[in-house]
């Protein structure tokens, strides 16, 4: 006969393992965690499985001497079941505009750094469009305003603010270092062509040209859009802060 107390503990440990396995298999782990932590998370899964196995074996060996366990302890363990149930049965979506927590979009717009632009060797810019926001930021950090004119293709959530002009919108992404709890917004100004429009609060892909727009003394990084196309949420919606 098995000891129910230790079987329950083993079940919780295996529950955490099941969440980790499920998130890796479905590709949903990137909706919660930075891929840089994947090896550590996988190792945690292996260790938890080992702990669960030992707990299960122990439940068969020592069921006769199992101590009493109260209602408060059962309730405490119920709380551990909540993240397991959510991890197994909840379909996560990336953070959206609501996660800004009331921070003003216009206050988050990326700008070229103060002071002189970095000196770059005279080399031709890449002929292809830069792939996404992370590539664009890496490019700008190397070239500064010398990179203006480069073709770019960026993806993010289209947002509007009352402080924007009629032809402007914001492209919102979040960057994470470890997990979604440390997400910080990355907001890029987009200048639409005449009569241009974009579906708000939706993922879009924008092709255009890197440019600069001055406002209140700031030299804002902007993308002059040639096309704005609605897309599905990408497999990995977050940028890496590392």
Partner 1 sequence: MLLLPRLNDLAVVFVSIVIQSLPFVLIGVFASALVQQYLSERLVLRWMPRRALPAVLLGSVFGMVAPVCDCGAIPLGRRLAAKGVPTYVALTFMLAAPVVNPVVALSTVVAFQGDWSIVALRMAMTVSVAVPIGLITSWLPPTLATLAPTPIRGGSLDAAGADEPARSGWRALIRHANAEFFDVMFFIVLGALVTAATQTLVPRGDLLAVGADPLGSIAALMPLATLLSICSEADAFVARAFATTFTLGSVLAFMTIGQIIDLRNGFLLLRTIGVRLVLLVAAVSYVIVFTEAVVVNEVVAAWGGVTWMTGRP
Note whether 232 and 168 are within 8 A (CB).
no
Is 159 near partner 1 (CB under 8 A)? no
**Nearest alpha-carbon partner for 44 in 23, 70, 62:** 23
How does DSSP classify residue 186? Answer: E
Footprint of partner 1 on residues 169-188 (CB under 8 A)? 175, 177-182, 184
Q: How far is the CB of 70 from partner 1 (least distance, A)?
A: 7
User: Given candidates 25, 71, 101, 217, which one binds partner 1 under the rule CB under 8 A?
Assistant: 101
Rounded to 10 degrees, what is the CA torsion of 30, 35, 38, 39? 170
229 near partner 1 (CB under 8 A)? no
Side-chain half-sphere exposure of 91, counting CA atoms within 13 A: 2
38 sits near partner 1 (criterion: CB under 8 A): no
Report if residue 217 touches partner 1, rule: CB under 8 A: no
| Alpha-carbon gap, residue 6 to 124, rounded angstroms | 66
Q: Does 120 bind partner 1 (CB under 8 A)?
A: no
Query: Which of positions 185-214 make contact with partner 1 (CB under 8 A)?
Result: none
Which of positions 39-78 make contact with partner 1 (CB under 8 A)?
Answer: 40-41, 43-44, 47-48, 50-51, 54-55, 58, 61-62, 65-67, 69-70, 73, 76-77
Q: Give the whole-angstrom CA distance, residue 115 versus residue 113.
A: 6
Shortest reach from residue 227's CB to partner 1, in Å: 24
């Amino acid at each position: 006969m098995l000891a129910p107390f230790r079987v329950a503990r083993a079940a919780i440990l295996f529950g955490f393992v099941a969440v980790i396995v499920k998130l890796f298999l479905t590709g949903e782990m990137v909706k919660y965690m930075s891929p840089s932590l994947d090896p550590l998370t996988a190792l945690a899964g292996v260790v938890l499985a080992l702990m669960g196995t030992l707990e299960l074996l122990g439940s068969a060996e020592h069921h006769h001497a199992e101590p009493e366990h109260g209602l408060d302890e059962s309730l405490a363990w119920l709380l551990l079941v909540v993240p397991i149930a959510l991890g197994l049965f909840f379909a996560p979506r990336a953070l959206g505009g609501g996660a800004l927590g009331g921070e003003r979009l216009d206050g988050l717009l990326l700008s070229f750094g103060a002071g002189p632009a970095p000196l770059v060797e005279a080399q031709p810019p890449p002929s292809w469009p830069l792939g996404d926001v992370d590539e664009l930021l890496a490019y700008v950090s190397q070239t500064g305003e010398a990179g203006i004119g480069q073709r770019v293709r960026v993806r993010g959530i289209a947002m509007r603010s009352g402080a924007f002009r009629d032809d402007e919108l914001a492209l919102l992404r979040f960057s994470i270092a470890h997990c979604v709890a440390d997400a910080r917004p990355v907001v890029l100004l987009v200048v639409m062509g005449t009569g241009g429009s974009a579906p708000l609060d939706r993922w879009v892909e924008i092709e255009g040209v890197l440019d600069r727009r001055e406002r209140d003394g700031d030299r804002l990084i902007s993308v002059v859009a040639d096309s704005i196309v609605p897309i599905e949420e990408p497999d990995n919606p977050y940028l890496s802060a590392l």
